[in-house]
Chain A
Amino acid sequence: MATGFAMILFVALANLVVFQYAAGVVRSALDTGARSASLLDAPLNACEIEIAEVLDGLLGGAMGDGVAYSCALDPTGQTVVAAATVTLPGFAPMVPDWSFDAQATAIKEQAP
């Protein structure tokens, strides 16, 4: 029984490490997406395409399914803003899901 409890606790702690990894992937994806749409001749949807590619490569499966993201230009048109709402499922029944919001910004290049 003690071994069983230890395993559950170990899975819960490993889950925290995976959550940290997933949060890092989401931030990286948003940064990459915002940067890709900030180039002078890049359309806004380049941001979401880039985010999807990063997430497909680094955060597939059920964890990737919990990431909802969008990209927009700020009202001044000078900054690309990529935002995501993330819900990561817990591995074990006793581990709660983790939800957080993340955002990234990049300066939009302007024609001279």
Chain B
Amino acid sequence: MDNDPHKDRREAERQEARVKIRFATPEALEKEYTSNISKGGLFVNTRKTYPLRSKVKFIMVFPISDEVVELTGEVVHVQEPRPDVDPSQSGIGVQFIDLTPQKRATIENYIARIDKRGQADEPELAEFGEGEKEEPAPTPQPQKKTEFLKDAIRRAAKEMGELSPTELVELKRKIKLFYAKRANRNHYDLLGISYTASPESIRNAYHKLSLNFHPDRHHKRLPPDLRPQIEDIFGKINRAYKTLRDFDSRVEYDVSVGNWGSVPNIPELSEEAKRLYQTRNIFAKQFPEKIERADEILNEAEKALEIGDKHEAVIKLKLAHSFDPFNEKARKLLEENGVKVKPLAEIEF
């Protein structure tokens, strides 16, 4: 950092720059990872400039354990330092070229397991070195007194029943995972069950998720800022379960999402409902590609409807219907758009 900037720039142009990023705290890494790195990129706040499209090698040093992950990125965006712009806004946007599943796993594992002892109030990216220089001498250790105080506060927090840093990381990871993998899926995927799940296994899945996410399972240990998320997640789990628990509302829901592929394992399923499920089941087995194609076309049709292209939509709906006559959604949309369709009972294949 003490070098002449012009020299740096010339070097950077010639050869791959090397940047060492040391994260001050596991939270800082976690935050950066979830908001940026996991999506394949990173914005590095620096007053030094790099040419667009140049390659930069990042050495990410994890706090506490000093584990390292190396990533190579390409500069895709440059924000030159300007006197009229807040210096925190200047820097480079980097797209990683080699964020392999292994590297992801290394980072994720670290986040999941690390105990955040020794966290300090330092900026998110503590250090930013460049070139092949050695990493500058570590910042002087925090004064023993403050360290002692922090420790005392941590212990007091634990006494009061607050989450330990590890538990907190684990909880945040769970929340993040839920939002990433389940929150916006259909009720079955949200609860992590199959379409044919029996009432009992639906209930068990619900209980399992509740044991994970109900606010009482964290009680007063729950940091106030996480409570709304936890309550929101619990609300979603609840809604999904309440819909699938009741037989009638489950069938209604199945129809609404076009889930006609299987006979659910419900003892009290009516004969008619069973027949429809079975018919569709046989159909699906015989023509899986037809159903898949129907779904695709239906998607396109819905998009056409969204932008108001009714003509296009009807053509696609008819096509989807001919591929999969049991697709309730296609039938419904066709009827809504004034096209008559044969009743299910009359369909032969």
User: Do A and B truly interact?
Assistant: no
